[in-house]
Amino acid sequence: MYDLHGDEAGRTGEAAGGVLRAFADANPLLDDYRAAVCAVNEGGEPRLYPGSPRILAQLLRTQDALILNEKHPEDAIALRAAMRGTPAAVHERDAYELWLAMLPTRTPRGLVVVDPPYEQTDERPRITATLAAAHRKWAHGVSMIWYPLKDRAAHLRWKDKLRRLGIPKFLAVEHWLYDTDQLGLYNGAGLFIINPPFAFTQDLPPLLEALRAALAPEGHRGTITAEWLG
């Protein structure tokens, strides 16, 4: 749970450029997202923002299980407190080791969400290697990997390495916020999605346009693309 009125949110400006812009937009395609945020707030403008574990917990059906991981002890304590009252299990392990250890899942269908901070220089190589190993163990499973967009040239090199893994159904969705790259700044974000469900890919185009329009910074149009790497 994140305080949208706290010092950190104010310092980065991410809340003003993200969730608050989405709330100011009336497009009904964003209603599900707004409902997920409203679920942890009371009243009008949101004060708290649910992290991805809380959003995933909201989407669980009775037959679903949610397994979370946080490597750092202090953050693991905070995560357990935030997930109190949900059926989530919280592990305190190396995320890449856990990713492989949990595959294949006990049920035929499953989703792995990879949402690292990208603070370590080896984060992208470890994702690449673990994804390759995970696909060998669980070729039909759905995996979703979030990443920030900063250095375009470095990102294109990483994407080329992922393309060479030869995973057949590999979708890259990228949102570049600005019309020209802003050096050293957060230029946007993307998702790699392995084995995206067919209904999801069919619903994607109008949703991407709604996100682009809602989140475009002042004076910029921005672009969102969906590209098959496999």
Please state the separation of Cα 94 from the chain's center in Å.
19
Catalytic residue among 31, 32, 75, 115: 115
Relative orientation angle of helices 73-82 and 52-59, to the nearest 10 degrees: 40
Beta bridge partners of 113: 144
Name residue, tokens 């995933």.
56
Cis check for the bond before 217: say yes or no (omega within 30 of 0). Answer: no
Q: Are 193 and 142 in contact (CB under 8 A)?
A: yes
CA distances, 142 to each of 62, 66, 119, 169 (Å): 20, 15, 25, 10
Could you give phi then psi for residue 176, rounded to 5 degrees?
-95, 115
Active site residue 179: no
Q: Are 154 and 138 in contact (CB under 8 A)?
A: no
d(CA 79, CA 124): 24
Q: Are 189 and 173 in contact (CB under 8 A)?
A: no
- List the catalytic residues: 115
